[in-house]
Amino acid sequence: MTRADADSWDLASSVGATATMVAAARAIASREPDALIDDPFADPLVRAVGVDFFTRLVDGEFSETDDDGATQLITTVMAVRTRFFDDFFLDATAAGIRQAVILASGLDARAFRLAWPAGTVVYEIDQPKVIEFKDSTMAAIGAEPTATRRAVSVDLRDDWPAALRANGFDDTAPTAWSAEGLLVYLPPEAQDRLFDDIARVSAPGSRLATEYHPDAGASMGQRAEAFRERWQKHGFDMNLADLFYPGERNPVVEYLTEHGWQVTARNRPEMFTEYGRHFPDDENLTPMRGSLAVTAIRQ
């Protein structure tokens, strides 16, 4: 389904389906012998969404020969990405931050699985259908948050800072922000607006973690099309490339630096090495090498 300015979704369609795909990858990664992550909620959340392809994926029905290793690659990429954001939040709370915001939270279960210090408040922002589904599913399986969790049902295209404040957010206290797997689903100007909004409600000492994919529209679109061709035979026919917004974007590192953040960035092979993994030496994956894991501190 091609994007539109006022589109909406649940976890089985459009952008929501990508959240389910990522949760499926986390479920698989959590079962690996030398697992980088432990997400016991990913599997039941994926099954509750009820998309047959994703259920079969977490059941291990697709071998590397079935999809030319696409599932294993995505699983490792998502495991590394998840661990990066896990460590970001744990480092932020170790530094004394007690307020966290997960933007476009999807099926993120960090409010339930990370060891948050006492007094931490975790805000999750996403579309109402997504929040409603996760709330009901986590309640049904008896999941209890490990921090004070406040779910905020609001579209990021609306006045989400106001909705955040209405739910108790304190813009005078340092905050740890995550924008994980989000930027490519925003138009270029909305990416800038998101960072501007974050900056406006971030007290000094606030931290931000995100990703940046140079040439996102072209390189990620090509990879998405390649994965689609491999997965079509298993019944998954969504073209992920249709969900990305094209157009020239402001590089995240430079933009944040110019707007009062102290920024650090590492490319994907560096992140793989940090977590004991090797990024494949495949020229077809060259566009993915330049993807950056970005952290920033508000000055």
Q: Which CATH class is domain 79-228+246-298?
A: alpha beta
* 215-228 residue pLDDT tens: 655 555 556 666 66
From the list 126, 137, 101, the residue with the least C-alpha distance to 16 is 126
The predicted pLDDT at position 1 comes to 45
The predicted pLDDT at position 214 comes to 83
The predicted pLDDT at position 242 comes to 72
All residues at 6 or more sequence positions from 178 whose CB lies less than 8 Å from its CB, including other chains: 85, 88, 89, 100, 101, 102, 103, 208, 209, 210
pLDDT by position in tens, the chain (length 299): 444 565 665 787 677 788 999 999 999 999 999 999 999 999 999 999 999 989 999 998 875 555 566 778 889 999 999 999 999 999 999 999 999 999 999 999 999 999 999 999 999 999 999 999 999 999 999 999 999 999 999 999 999 999 999 999 999 999 999 999 999 889 999 999 999 999 999 999 999 999 998 865 555 555 666 666 666 666 776 666 677 777 889 999 999 999 999 999 999 999 999 999 999 988 878 878 889 999 999 99
The predicted pLDDT at position 89 comes to 98
Quote the pTM value: 0.92
Give the start-to-end residue ranges of the domains of the chain.
79-228+246-298
The predicted pLDDT at position 222 comes to 59
